[in-house]
Amino acid sequence: MNSLSDLQLIDATLSGDTLAFDELVRRYQDRLVHSLEQALGSRDDALDVAQQGFVLAWKKLSTFRREAGFYSWLYRIARNVAISRIRRPKISSGSLDHLHEAAGFELADEHSQSAPDHALLQTEQIQMVQQALQEIAEEFRRPLVLKEIDGFSYEEIAQIIDIPLGTVRSRIFRARQELIAKLQRLSKDRQ
């Protein structure tokens, strides 16, 4: 079954073959859980939301529009389940590094990880980015998080949020500009 395309598996599922949907789950569960874990900050929450997302996808499979990729559609369902759980995006130390630099402050040097203040500096920088992200309107923050933290392409983001590609690009551009300005302000406030 793993040689079948997503669309073939969807057709088989709609025809009553539950094993076909099991293959879709196997194909995408790790990727979905990883993306949700980045957004929710908790593996347990990510597993719970992924399970709910797959159940909803199975129930709504007949509404799947074939112009979008299955995973993008599934992710959008799971992300909607997760929205009420999201308090703040979870940011890894490597996320948005170029925005740190554009904001005009130095990152914790990766090569000095043994330095006693490295972990503290890194944690402070992550908190600063999280705070700045929270100050950006959701309509701009969400595409930026999907791009920079979850690693989706512009096209996938357009499908997930269900907005035109040009709107995705402009919102991400604006979100980056706002984030840089907020990081510069926060950096000055902490000096």
Can you read off the two tokens belonging to residue 108? Answer: 């914790």
In this structure, the answer to whether residues 61 and 116 fall within a common structural domain is: no
In this structure, the answer to whether residues 117 and 185 fall within a common structural domain is: yes
In this structure, the answer to whether residues 155 and 181 fall within a common structural domain is: yes
Residues 6+ apart with CB under 8 A from 133: 88, 89, 91, 141, 144, 145, 179
| Whether the Cβ atoms of residue 53 and residue 5 lie closer than 8 Å to each other | no
Q: What is the mean pLDDT of the chain?
A: 80
> Domains in the chain: how many in total?
2
What crossing angle do the helices spanning 165-189 and 138-148 adopt, rounded to 10°? 90
> The domain that contains 57 carries what CATH number?
1.10.1740.10
Range of the domain at 169: 97-189
Looking at the domain assignment, is residue 45 inside a domain?
Answer: yes
In this structure, the answer to whether residues 50 and 121 fall within a common structural domain is: no
| Whether the Cβ atoms of residue 50 and residue 32 lie closer than 8 Å to each other | yes
Please state which of the ranges 7-11, 33-37, 149-153 shows the lowest mean pLDDT: 149-153
pLDDT confidence of 11, banded at 50, 70, 90? very high
In this structure, the answer to whether residues 28 and 58 fall within a common structural domain is: yes
> The domain that contains 113 carries what CATH number?
1.10.10.10
In this structure, the answer to whether residues 108 and 172 fall within a common structural domain is: yes
Chain segment 107-155, per-residue pLDDT in tens:
454 444 555 555 666 677 777 788 888 888 889 988 988 888 878 888 8
In this structure, the answer to whether residues 16 and 76 fall within a common structural domain is: yes
